[in-house]
Structure 1
Amino acid sequence: MNRSKESSVKSNVIWILGDQHRAQALGCNGDPNVSTPNIDNLAAMGVNFVNAVSGFPLCCPFRGSMLTSRYPHNCVPGHEYQLPPEQRTIANEFNDHGYHTAYFGKWHLDGYQEKLGRASHHIIPPDRRGGFKQWVGYENNNSQWDCWVHGGEGESAFHYRLPGYETDELTNLFTVYLEDMGQKQKEGSGEPFFAVLSVQPPHNPYISPEETRKRHIPANVQLRTNVPAIPKVQEKARLDLSGYYAMIENLDWNVGKIRRTLSECGLADNTHIVFFSDHGDMHGSHGQYLKTLPYEESIRVPFIISGETAFYNGRKTGKSQAMMNHVDIAPTTLGLCGIDKPGWMEGTDFSGHRLSSRDVGEQPDSAFLQSPTARGNVDKPWRGIVTKDGWKYVCFEGCSWMLFNLKEDPYELVNQAHNPQGVYASKRKELQEQLVEWIHKTGDRFQVPVS
């Protein structure tokens, strides 16, 4: 497609996101345990945001922020909190600009309390589906071979069990949608579209189809340097990771299927592909598991903007050092389609890191981290900051918690939060002042320690 023809056609954009997929667990990001050729190709022909973080490493808050560009304390402040029905989302903005919007998969934004029963059987009414014109999903599910989806309304409402493994079946639904949109565009009756595929894997339980699981033996897993040499910790980490990596390879295969479908439907040249995750997974690092911690394995997420348009017409490739956070996903996605972010969105548009036609503009040199509610591995709320030059500072109310120089100590083995020697005391004060600026800027009420 030449430059003049592309400029007259609106771009499509799709999100592909897994759950609990840490940034380190990709071939293109250096993990020796996993083969991800399709995602690696996305990175090779697109932009890999190597500093991307999950500002609140927990499913519900992240998902609220990715759809609204509002910080968790202003939108979805914790686990099993509902996205306010009156809150506008990225889907509303795309709808207003003539796009068809569709969502497939995990939602986890209706505030369902899982103590009442299995969330996958909770029916989310149409007015609480974020403004998407087409919606096929479920609230939450932790059983990849027993996934129920629902959608529609009135006489067209449906609720049924997917016939196979979750990622495969949701991808099947997603590719049927792409085929439909491609056919309509060929007939001249189609709209540009924004579509989301949200799958549960590689979230625990760590199980996958046989063809990928058989390639991963626990004893062969290479652990990260910061997994302590404690037998029970390493044994669990290797067992979990063998399934985790298999799930990622299954997701990678489905990414390849989506790319083939885009090509076959004539959509590849005008569709941006955005690949990311909601948070990471500790897998034994520092003796911890799962998420909610401000360590690198928990907060760092893959974030890649790609598509076939990499090879012409002003598309940038390579690695970006931009401090991408969860609130930045929606405005960046709008920017990819030439739509400026609305005033109610709090995040930054980073689309200029992919498109030469978009100004990069003023960019934050740090990312705000937070856990407004005690959850998971930490029994206190915390706030933190991670900077572009590689420093991380995290505190509780009344007490500093972490200070790491990630350039020198990427595995966070030496906590300098209470070291009065050398640069550390002055750096802690400097970072704490930056954190206060973030707290004030976002309307947070957290009280940092007295320096």
Structure 2
Amino acid sequence: MAGLTTRSGATRTRQRGVFAALAFLVLLSGSLTCVRCAEPEPRAKPSNILLIVVDDQDLALGGMSPMKKTKALIGDAGATFVNAFTITPLCCPSRSSILTGRYPHNHGVRNNSLSGNCSSSQWQKGPETETFPFYLSKQKYQTFFAGKYLNQYGQKAVGGVGHVPPGWDQWHALVGNSRYYNYTLSVNGKEEIHSDSYEKDYLTDLVLNRSLNFLDNRSPQHPFFLMLCPPAPHSPWTAAPQYQKDFIDVKAPRDGSFDKPGKDKHWLLRQPTNPMLNSTVDFLDNAFRRRWQTLLSVDDLVEVLVKKLDSLKELNDTYIFYTSDNGYHTGQFSLPIDKRQLYEFDIRIPLLVRGPGIKPSQTLQAPVLNIDLAPTLLDISGVNLSSVNVDGQSFLSQMAPSLRNGTARPFFLVEYTGEGSPTGDPSCPKLGPGVSECFPDCVCEDSCNNTYACVRTISSEQNLQYCEFADTESFVEMYNMTTDPYQLENIVKKVDPAVLQAMNQRLIKLQSCEGDSCRDTK
């Protein structure tokens, strides 16, 4: 009996130990999750994204004035960046920078020609395979494109309309440069020819209507990304019929550098007739009005899309970006109409953003570049930015500090490679081939030696621009943007040599930067 009692006591002791262990595990399970047996939590669906990129819309000359709905529905509902810049003031290299997040010296697109790598075979085999839509598609985004892509897109020599860049589920891309009627589209790799019917063909409205159709037929299980690139306000400035009498009394602004001589500037700014001929002024005033007229259809596009997203109950989970590829000038320094120059009117662009975590009615001062769009969109989608090759940086932290931590850059690069016509140009004598606008007074707007690089600083300590030209003169321009916002006085001969040297060294580093080194704040 004694032995039996001993065994039964040992058994009870072991049982108590087992029960105690089980009780501990039960207690522990109230605060910890069993790693092996628990189902993994599903990853939250990333937010939707809508990116609208217009063509040649300035900021410095009041280009946003016609956009009352856009300012209310995006800017007032989110953030307005007052120091947004393109890193190159020309369509194709700028759009290539938007798509890749890289400076032109890293994506290789120099101008609007095939020889300048605009939608060339080299572009298609290289940088185009690493654009942000490719990464968004890997994140299960449903992707849609409509409108102008790159100026030379669709050329037969580089794949024609059958070439659809990687990353796009739906592709409705304009062949060639901006037009409003009588154009050809690549629709998912098939040719689609359009005529001049407003109801069927007006490109801004077609971009809108096809995006609405995409939204109606998308899968609700996955996020969506739309990139819409209407032609406005690019020439030929063809407004919708209902807007062709708007702004009839509007003229180009006469303040700032309008019709001022290009004193102490690069030769291209010294060669226009000054003051401008009356015929030139009349032409640029008409262009200015018509540009605004074309933007009214874009304003309608924004309104309709915001209402559509609201009706689909997707508005509060969609980031909406509105911007332009470059600025524009109409009479500044007696240059009638174009872009391509280093001055604020050509490099400043509108940028408005609304979306989750962005408080309304924010006006943000920190400089933001168009190469920052790609990393920002990828940041929103959940892509690890250290895994992608970009020169820009996400500005999500500036718009929505609760979502990210980050710092603004104190300086950045603007670079441009001059473009010339192969036959030469009588308005650019002895200076090589050039590019003119004849309307009716030929004025040279660009040349092969209009090739420059600038470093721009915007901070509480400095607001400067320093530029060097790649020409036989090694011409240099420098401006104090605080005291001279219209860049009327080139101070290169007055400034402290130590400041000049510091700007020169900073420019040298930026011109060869890549990736992280482009974001160096020292």
Match of 1:384 among 443, 446, 454: 454
Q: Distance in 2 between matches of 1:25 and 1:273?
A: 24
In the alignment, does 2:230 pair up with 1:199?
Answer: yes
Kept in 2, the 8 Å contact 1:85–1:130? The answer is: no
Which residue does the alignment assign to 1:160?
193
1:235-255 CA-to-partner distances (Å, cap 9, x unmatched) read 222111010111122211211
Which residue does the alignment assign to 2:327?
280
- Secondary structure at the counterpart of residue 84 of structure 1: helix
Equivalent residue runs for 1:56-205 within 5 Å = 56-75=88-107, 76-80=109-113, 81=117, 82=120, 83-86=123-126, 87-108=129-150, 123-126=160-163, 128-153=164-189, 157-161=190-194, 163-181=200-218, 184-185=219-220, 190-205=221-236
Match of 1:258 among 281, 284, 305: 305
1:339-363 CA-to-partner distances (Å, cap 9, x unmatched) read 3323312211111112234334243
Cα separation, partners in 2 of 1:306 and 1:256, compared to 1, 3 Å: same
Match of 2:396 among 342, 348, 351: 351
- The Cα of 1:368 is off from its aligned counterpart by 0.7
Cα separation, partners in 2 of 1:158 and 1:98, compared to 1, 3 Å: same
Kept in 2, the 8 Å contact 1:368–1:386? The answer is: yes
Kept in 1, the 8 Å contact 2:154–2:160? The answer is: no
- The Cα of 1:100 is off from its aligned counterpart by 1.2
Cα separation, partners in 2 of 1:427 and 1:36, compared to 1, 3 Å: farther
Q: Between Structure 1 and Structure 2, how many residues are aligned?
A: 411
Structure 1: gaps of 5 or more residues:
1-6, 444-451
Cα separation, partners in 2 of 1:322 and 1:355, compared to 1, 3 Å: same
- The Cα of 1:374 is off from its aligned counterpart by 3.5
Cα separation, partners in 2 of 1:134 and 1:142, compared to 1, 3 Å: closer
Cα separation, partners in 2 of 1:123 and 1:218, compared to 1, 3 Å: farther
- The Cα of 1:369 is off from its aligned counterpart by 0.5
Q: Distance in 2 between matches of 1:316 and 1:217?
A: 33
Q: Distance in 2 between matches of 1:425 and 1:237?
A: 40
In the alignment, does 2:343 pair up with 1:295?
Answer: yes
1:264-311 CA-to-partner distances (Å, cap 9, x unmatched) read 12211111001111011111111122111111111111111114x4xx
- Secondary structure at the counterpart of residue 330 of structure 2: coil
Cα separation, partners in 2 of 1:96 and 1:108, compared to 1, 3 Å: same
Kept in 2, the 8 Å contact 1:23–1:300? The answer is: yes
- The Cα of 1:110 is off from its aligned counterpart by 5.1
1:188-218 CA-to-partner distances (Å, cap 9, x unmatched) read xx31011100111100112202322311225
* Stretch of structure 1 that moved more, 317-326 or 10-19: 317-326
In the alignment, does 2:480 pair up with 1:405?
Answer: yes
Greater RCO (CA < 8 Å, at least 6 residues apart): 1
- The Cα of 1:55 is off from its aligned counterpart by 0.8
Cα separation, partners in 2 of 1:202 and 1:219, compared to 1, 3 Å: closer
Q: Distance in 2 between matches of 1:49 and 1:267?
A: 24
Kept in 1, the 8 Å contact 2:184–2:191? The answer is: no
Q: Distance in 2 between matches of 1:240 and 1:246?
A: 10
Code of the residue aligned with 2:105 in structure 1: it is: H
Q: TM-score by structure 1 length?
A: 0.84
Code of the residue aligned with 2:480 in structure 1: it is: N
Which residue does the alignment assign to 1:23?
59
Q: TM-score by structure 2 length?
A: 0.73
- Secondary structure at the counterpart of residue 441 of structure 1: coil
Code of the residue aligned with 1:302 in structure 2: it is: P
RMSD after superposition? 2.6
- The Cα of 1:9 is off from its aligned counterpart by 3.6
Cα separation, partners in 2 of 1:357 and 1:63, compared to 1, 3 Å: same
Code of the residue aligned with 2:482 in structure 1: it is: K
Q: Distance in 2 between matches of 1:191 and 1:40?
A: 29
Which residue does the alignment assign to 2:367?
323
